[in-house]
Structure 1
Amino acid sequence: MTVVAPTVTAAPRRRRNLLRVAPFLAIMGVFVLVAILAPLVAPYDPYTQNLLGRLKPPGTVARNVHYLLGSDELGRDLLSRLVYGARVSLFVAFSSVVLSGVVGTLLGMIAGYSRGVVEMIIMRIVDVFLSVPAILLAIITVAVLGPGLTNVVFVLALTRWPRYARVAYGQTLTVATMPYVRLAAFMGAKPIWILLRHVLPNILGAIAVVATLEFGLMVLFEAGLSFLGLGVQPPTASWGAMLSTGRNYVATAWWIATFPGLCLFLLVLSVNLIGDDLRDRLDPRTT
């Protein structure tokens, strides 16, 4: 009598993964809602200074202002600045991911489908960009263009589009050999129609995974540039700028650097774990 081992399906494992990532989905949702509803959520104006209430610890009341998470060196409410800082971080991350994703995916599909000279030119440019550390390229570029919200978005998109191009290129090489794609080309369909109608829907899963993982990296890059004074400029609230200021008051006002750092940690951790779960779900080897 032959004993056949029971087949283990992926459904229970996916349910376990969903339960594991559910708290981080909730955390990510809270950050998004806080960023969208910042004017309604923030208890005070993040730019209003109160010099009599500077460097107050969490829970302090000064001049009828209740500093739930403390105040900074200019007496501004730290909680309000954290709320508006979330809006800046998420806006920069989302904008740079969309811009770099669109440009990189389009160029990658063109290179993978056209082949020949076009493929060689695009992929050699990709290799040049990938050969330089992204953060170093971002620092050099923003130092030339100047700091600011718009420039930060442009710089981050400029430094990260090659990753999307590389993934889209590899996926397009596979999809382009499928019978239905070759049949569409044989029937006279234009390349742009084939790319948008047949190739793009089949590579969106891989692109979505890259975009999710890149989102957390963009948050860190924005914070790093602001920390160095090359990102969002004062008095605009930014977690990276708050960390830069807080390092000068670590011994006397620990909360200025602690809470922005905690927010960065939670946001990046949540995005990365969500990206890992999305990758597992879209991986055909787990089905």
Structure 2
Amino acid sequence: MNAAAPVATKRSRRPIPWTVIPFAAILTALVLMAIFAPYIAPLDPNAQNLLARLKAPGHEARGAVYWLGSDELGRDVLSRTVYGARVSLLVAFASVILSGVFGSVLGMIAAFYRGWVETIIMRIVDIVLSVPAILLAIITVAVLGPSLYNVVIVLALTRWPRYARVAYGQTLSVANMPYVRLSRFMGAGWLRLLGRHVLPNIAGALIVVATLEFGLMVLFEAGLSFLGLGVQPPTASWGAMLSTGRNYVATAWWIATFPGLALFLLVLSINLIGDHARDRLDPRSR
């Protein structure tokens, strides 16, 4: 009698939930809209036409159609919404990269060296985390002055402790692994140990944090611009458009509605994708 052949087992990969796919498509569309803004926007976002001010969506003036209406200066809301996506995504991407790199490096160094290095770095992390991030950002921007570059720097300086704490905890568990201790015993330097052995094993947790922080950076940029401390006029920004549109809610609802809807869809898509990434990269859920 023939023995039963062994059945080869294959690790099952969970399919992507169908609820995530529409939001991934929305996020992709918003990113492409920001990249190709000069080719998508029908009009110059800063061009004023006082004869067409506060016109409803679909109004035509001087041969131009304002598909999403016009603002108080006669500027096209559609074009400004498209260019506003570029500002929000640029600020969020740059601040996440800067804060992620800076915080992750400090967290790994604190967990690797321990002692007084760990004490100093983690006490600084505790101090920064004890202050509300938006309050710290408002104070810092008020001191440095409102501009696009200052907003990026401020958001990076206020959010790096989140990465430092995650990198610190993850590095503590990885640093005690046998292969890491063996590499250290064989004379590997700290840069090689952290870059080749530690970072690849904690990258999943850091990516999840970065994904969730991305949506928060978009909200912070919009909040600072709403208060007049972010991107300055005439540059189009969703937060600044919301700030202007609140004065015309009763007469020109479209000024605040469309950038607010774009902001809502962007943050919602990023958060849902971040939650899915956390579930996929969490070893406990496998």
TM-score interval for Structure 1 and Structure 2 normalised by the shorter chain: over 0.9
Residue of structure 2 equivalent to 1:84: 83
Q: SS state of the match for residue 56, structure 1? A: coil
Gaps of 5+ in 1: 1-8
Quote the Cα distance in structure 2 between the aligned partners of 1:178 and 1:21: 36
Asked whether the equivalents of residues 129 and 162 of structure 1 are also in contact (C-alpha less than 8 Å), the reply is yes
Matched residue type, 1:155? V
Structure 2 residue 109 is matched with structure 1 residue 115: no
1:11 Cα deviation from its structure 2 partner:
4.8
Listed one character per residue, the Cα deviations across residues 145-202 of structure 1 (whole Å, up to 9, x for unaligned) are 0000000000000000000000000000000000000000000000111000100010
Aligned to 1:3: none
Name 1:134's counterpart in structure 2.
Answer: 133
Aligned pair in 2 of structure 1 residues 72, 284: CA closer, same or farther (>3 Å)?
same
SS of match in other structure, 2:224: helix
Residue 209 in structure 1 maps to residue 211 in structure 2? no
Task: Please report how far the alpha carbon of residue 285 of structure 1 lies from its aligned counterpart in structure 2 after TM superposition.
Answer: 1.5
Q: What is the rounded CA distance, in whole Å, between the counterparts of 2:61 and 2:267 in structure 1?
A: 34
Find the counterpart in structure 1 of residue 248 from structure 2. Answer: 249
Question: How far apart, CA to CA, are the structure 2 residues paired with 1:145 and 1:128?
Answer: 21
- Give the alignment's TM-score, normalised by structure 1: 0.95
Contact kept in structure 2, 1:10 and 1:286, CA below 8 Å:
no
Residue type at the aligned position of 2:57: P
Q: Aligned equivalents of 2:11 and 2:225: distance in 1?
A: 43
Unaligned runs of 5+ in 2: 1-9
TM norm structure 2: 0.95
1:198-237 to structure 2, matched below 5 A, reads: 198-237=197-236
Query: For the residues of structure 2 that align with 1:195 and 1:259, how far apart are their CA atoms?
Result: 46
Q: Which amino acid aligns with 2:145?
A: G
The one-letter code matched in structure 1 to 2:119 is M
Q: Which runs of 4+ in 1 moved over 3 A?
A: 9-12
Give the Å deviation of 1:65: 1.1
The 5-angstrom pairing of residues 90-169 of structure 1 reads: 90-169=89-168
**Identity among equivalent pairs (%):** 76
User: Aligned in 2, Cα 1:10/1:255: closer, same or farther, shift over 3 Å?
Assistant: farther
C-alpha contact 1:56 1:70 (8 A) present in aligned 2: yes
